[in-house]
Structure 1
Amino acid sequence: MVNIQKMARFRLKSCLTLFALASFIFLIIVILKFSIQEASDLPDAFGLEVIPHANRMEKSQNQLQADNATPDTDTKEVNMNAETLLEKYSVPNYNFHTFYYTWYGNPQFDGKYLHWDHPLLPHWDSKVAAAFPKGRHSPPDDIGANFYPALGAYSSRDPTVIDAHMRQMRMAAIGVLAISWYPPGMKDDNGEATDDIVPLILDAAHKYQIRVTFHIEPFKGRDEKTMFDCVKYIVEKYGEHPAFFRYKTKTGKTLPLYYIYDSYLLSPENWARLLNPNAKTSIRNTPYDGIFLALLVEEKHKRAILSSGFDGMYTYFATNGFTYGSSYRNWKSIKAFCDASSLIFVPSVGPGYIDTNIRPWNSQNTRNRIKGRYYETALSAAAEAGAQVVSITSFNEWHEGTQIEMAVPKAGHTAYLDYLPHKPGNYLQITRKWADTFSGE
């Protein structure tokens, strides 16, 4: 009888213990569920919530078309959201520029993929080239990049994509985007003509108080005469738009600013015919005058840029040590040269570099992001050099892995890199953190 009673008490005690444990577990589950729900309701300034249709990459083509048939059905709501964004974030820093590319396309907006299907470029040495794969990429899962965009294999013509880009720039405090530009009817080797996208960019930029300048590419036939024609075209077609960027000089004059990529391909004598105020064909002191920045690659280019009549220089490449101009250790001396020569020095900073998904033989030029430290080192070097204007390489040059645009983890045919353990907007956040450092002209 005693043993039975003891056993009964033991069973009752065990049951009570199990009941208490079960109740405790149930309570924890309820708390966690509530917390998760609460967290999901919180806005994430640099998460995917700020990207319209950010999950489109997981949808079918038919669903994509349905999504974009009326991307923003309530215009008032869209405008309200934009106004809320403008109120939440400080005024853009117009000394923070970023290089921007509009050459991407997809079947929905362009009838085919553009640039995402970039070919693998062969090495110039045929013996080296033979050791690496050939062909081209097959989007949307296999793209010509080492990272994968949060917006998927998007089109640069998609209004929702353009709006998302402007939102990201505004959140990062970027004031000026330098749009990669070819004259009407001209294009790069892997895309289509994009001048007709410029009005879309200007309108969207204006909505977010961002300005637009032009990064003039080395188009076929570029010389002093065709450059004059191009600048004239840009000013006459886009110069009156409120988003068209004008740089305020030390004398108080405001002029359009132009980045001239691969400017060294044209001789100083040719450039002087355009930029020397005493030349008969000079653009100076005409309605089309501007601030012209040359690309500095080699050290000897400093003198050539000065004799050409340029107003300043930039370095573009996001690979520290790749060129004289892109090497951080040289920026102080370059800035000193520019100061002594009354030139503007605009160093180019970037979050890293990797292009092995289009140049598989170029791994030696990869620059690891080191979870954002590489980018901060570049920004710090620009600040220490005394630069007041900085150009960011890039917002969305995905082929070379220099983008600060939001990227997401992606598994599949290609093993893509990502920004983990940070969020997709990590590089926007870093950019915004540094914006106040470069505040004066």
Structure 2
Amino acid sequence: MSEQRHYIVANGTIIDVEQSNFFTGSIEIQDSKIKRIFPLNEVLPEEIPVIGAKGKYIIPGLIDMHCHIKEQFAPHFLASGVTTVRNTAGNVFMIKNLIHAPMDAPTPRVYSADRMIDGTPGQLGPTSFGNFVTDNPEEARKEVRRQVGVGAKFIKLYGWVNREVMEAVVDEAKKYDLEVSCDLIHSKDLHALDAAQMGVTWLEHASGFAQALYQGWYPMADQTPWSHLNWEQPDERKINELCQRMIAYKVKLCPTLVIFDQVDQYPHIWDTKNKVRESLEKENILIEHWLNMSVQHKQLKQQFAKLNHFTKVVAKTYFDLGGLVVTGTDTPALIWTFPGMSLHRELELFVEIGFSEMEALQAATVQAAKSIQLENVGSIKEGNIADLVLLNNNPLEKIQHTQDIHFVIKGGKVYSQEEILRHVPSKAYVANQLNEFEKEWETVEK
């Protein structure tokens, strides 16, 4: 594609997610930013090269607000039109190349937490590079300060954290103006309202709502006492009341509907045979992981399938009441959560539960960006970073059209999907980077 850094994308249909509008116009891009937007019929400067976009639909780059990115599959996000991701735990040292990549790199820009803070014995095992396990509030405060020092943009709590640690983390994070996020799916003792009352800002997976409604329930508990619950027809009055209370605390939801839906639908999972999927298959990236996870499908269904419809009801109720709900995927968690492409399935699911196509797009663009104070992405306006996706068909008529990508613009650079996927790193590079990370982490631990 064009290497021009001063050009005009001409005569496309621009979808204005800020104003819930669309119009035909042209976008002048210089270096990494949108310099000017020309309405239809305004004469374009003759000296500036033009990329024709007649018949195309231009949306802001999409934002995956909950994933766990790694270099080996980072290009797959961008090839899918996902130009920004919120990395909800991992290790900032492991993805430093992505975090500090150039503006126009063939990978998404990354807004990241560091390792999650969990309670004993640790859902992912004892303390490691990916999680910090403690029941001690002072140890947790020290970990927050360490994460601030290495550049974490927010703090992530995991489901076995105790009340004292949660309170301490929220208090310590506030000193640095950092939000706290938590995943309470497997929490035995705390629920969503507890977290909100303590000042947690983000509820990932809309987790902890079920525990708040059904005191003592959690996915791994003996389900016999809860056999009377109809998860397909939850008590919407109680959900409404709980959502109203949560909204009063200004909690933000990232429901990641796709992870529950893929488990619930298995073996008839959502899949798509496109360039991104073909690349994952060709390079054997994540495929074996999902195949191995799928062997446990009965256990996964027992734990997570019941949350599929329940989470959808929570997400739509929360949105209808005026709460903030954004799109995320938890890629590559559980089964067949394809990097980048899963966000398109999330958009489909948002529309299936009652969001309009525009509202779904807003949840993946402008609302997502504003929710984490990213002022220069998420919408098409002068002065913003030129992160754009050109589509062959109108996503406002059918949300599935977000998958029909003509090309992607990242930080002003124009890419075809094929060009992006040529940047998938080799297995030797990935192995070398992992080796370098392990050496660096040994130094950090000391």
Structure with bigger RCO (C-alpha 8 Å, 6+ apart): 2
Instruction: Judging by fraction of residues, say which structure has more strand.
Output: 2
TM-score, length-scaled by structure 1: 0.35
TM-score, length-scaled by structure 2: 0.35
